Amino acid sequence: MDIFDKHQALAQRRGQLLGTGADPFDLEIEALHGPCEATIRGRRTILVGTNNYLGLTFDPDCIEAGCEALRRFGTGTTGSRIANGTYAAHRALEAEIAAFMGRARAIVFTTGYQANLATISALAGAKDIVFVDSDWHASIFDGCRLSGATVVRFRHNDPEDLDRRLERNPNPDGCRLIVVEGLYSMLGDVARLREIVAVKKRHGAFLLVDEAHSMGVFGDKGRGVAEAQGVETEVDFIVGTFSKSLGAIGGFAVSDHPRFDLLRVAARPYMFTASPGPATIATVRAALAKIAAHPELRARIWDNARRLHAGLTALGFALAAPPGPILSIRLPDERTTVFAWNRLLELGVYVNLALPPGTPGGVCLLRGSVSAAHTTEQIDRVLDRFARLAEELGRFAASVAAA
């Protein structure tokens, strides 16, 4: 037996995908021409699948901040936060994130994935129960596994089902932690946080909200869905990432809990990982200041989202959620979705291919994400390519039926 035999089914499925066109999970970007355009497979391509919500990856102030940090502090920290990896800039960023999010305390992590992994695994223990939305991100799933807690899933975005499951699991010997996302990354739907908060209070549970895809986009100050729905003070812990609106890499968690800093010595993914490099920290600090000072970035992304959503709807595509930064199109099956993804790439538009089991309910999606940096002309070009795709999908379906 070979050690990779266990992955034979994955290898066969990947081979089938490669037989239909480009590899959707190892696509090379040959050159970038700004936050929203790139060269892919030798073709100038509009990027509608990057999660670069505010378009700050090419912001001149962020770039200069990173360059200056490289010159002053070098390329990396070469140590964890509990060893030699805490610089003054890490502490400054934590203070700035706490202030931006309106919280007393913040902890910075090397990746957004580790932010969930560390926070959940340290908050929950073997005697605790974690109640998780069934549309959970892999980092939430792995954080729950690392914690050793009992995990109870509830129906996606269903506070009533959460209420029933909390009622059935009182857990007098431990705590109960509810974990949801503010904006769900696959379908683009928004958590019903007001109702979830009411359930949480009724049962005396704790609530963690992952605002990875909503921070910077939702709320008057860009703090996320909890701010937008007016329930910030009822959310115990918020986790976020630097790799979406902030245009970098890393993650954070914030809280008003007076003992929150215990995570620094309780969370293994924080303790045993090298800290974020100086350039990353500097660009995030510059991006955070940019978001706070320029609310027009949020207005722009919402204008773009509404324009793209309306255009796709007019073309007859089935959108999975109302207008927002994530626009996912439901398609009938995997074969059609793979064809559509490849055809869009040939037409100069990049979106994400999202297939089961990585999608909720086993749906097949073309997942797009809009940016404040997209121009009106780019949005209209994208809609033109989707119009061509809509015509071709009809012929594709007919050919499949004939075969």
Catalytic (active-site) positions: 185, 213, 244
Whether residue 357 is preceded by a cis peptide bond, meaning omega within 30 degrees of 0, is yes
Q: Check: CB of residue 197 under 8 Å from CB of residue 166.
A: no
3-class DSSP state for residue 351?
coil
The set of residues, in sequence order, having a beta carbon less than 8 Å from that of 192 and lying 6+ positions away, is 157, 159
Q: And the tokens for 184?
A: 């769900």
How far apart (Å, rounded) are the C-alpha atoms in residues 108 and 264?
10
* Strands ordered across the beta sheet of 105-109: 105-109, 251-255, 237-241, 206-210, 176-181, 129-133, 150-154
Q: Are 66 and 56 in contact (CB under 8 A)?
A: no
The answer to whether the beta carbons of residues 162 and 336 sit under 8 Å apart is no
DSSP state, residue 218: S
Phi, psi of 320 (to 5 degrees): -80, -15
**Structure token pair of residue 284:** 């995030």
Q: How far is residue 394's CA from residue 399's CA, in Å, rounded to a whole number?
A: 9
DSSP, collapsed to helix, strand or coil, labels residue 282 as helix
In a 3-state reduction of DSSP, which class is residue 349?
A: strand
Q: What angle do CA 129, 139, 17 make, to 5 degrees?
A: 130
